[in-house]
Amino acid sequence: MSIADRHVTALMRQLASQDVVELVHPLAEWETLGALAYIAECYGFRYADVRHVGKQKTLYVRMVRDADPRARQRAAANAAAFPQAGAGGPVPGMYQGTLTPVPEAQPDVDLIATLIRYDALGAAANRKQLITMSWAFPLLFVLLAAVTGKFAVLLTLAALTPAFLLITLRVNEARRAKLAERLTAAGCTPARDEQGRETFVRPLPHTT
């Protein structure tokens, strides 16, 4: 069984028994996450959001069961058309034994991968958090310098830290702006999630 088949088998087991599924990929390969999310949407789920977990900032992509009747119809149709999905058989939208999209599925996979990446950048570098850190850390270094007497090192860090954090913020915002352009061009609508973070709502998936 290929690595792709193992990913699909694990996913299908979760889809059959859970209303909330999290896709985990330590290396955050956007195409792989987009393909797995696409398959989940073929079986009555929809993309919800992302979060970073642990010191290594492992990316978790959350999928939730879609209550829309069209999602249930889509799931039933795909279950009938792909009876061996998760058991080494073909799955919707992918070449068999791989997570490589077929041409007709590629646009949807690309779109959801772009949205996942956009949300992941927002989760990794929250603007308010970075701005708070840009003044909190220098203050901490100044206090440590006063206590330890190591002025040369700590005051240098106090001066450099805000610049580094603000550059990180600018780079992150530039990347998200490019992704936002792609999402807007694909017909996605700007929105805010449950935590008030900027995201996009995609058009209804074409998965069948």
Q: What is the dihedral of CA 2, 78, 14, 17, to 10 degrees?
A: -150
pLDDT at 200: 94
pTM of the entire predicted model = 0.80
* Average of per-residue pLDDT across 11-30: 88
Distances (CA, A) of 7 to 128, 148, 201: 36, 52, 26
Asked if residue 137 has pLDDT above 90, the reply is no
Determine the residue type at 12.
M
Tell me the three state secondary structure of residue 104.
Answer: coil
User: Which 8-state DSSP code applies to residue 101?
Assistant: B
Please state, rounded to an integer, the average pLDDT across all residues of the chain.
85
Q: Quickly state the pLDDT bin for 148 (edges 50, 70, 90).
A: confident
Q: Which is more confident, 98 or 143?
A: 98
Asked if residue 9 has pLDDT above 70, the reply is yes
Q: Closest Cα to residue 189, out of 200, 197, 205, 174?
A: 200
Asked if residue 155 has pLDDT above 90, the reply is no
- What whole-number distance in Å separates Cα of residue 144 and Cα of residue 23? 41
Q: Quickly state the pLDDT bin for 113 (edges 50, 70, 90).
A: very high
* Average of per-residue pLDDT across 123-150: 66
Instruction: Dump strand ranges (E) for the chain.
Output: 20-25, 45-53, 58-65, 189-192, 198-201
Distances (CA, A) of 57 to 121, 123, 164, 196: 12, 10, 19, 21
Quickly tell me which residue has 């992302």 as its tokens: 50
pLDDT at 196: 80
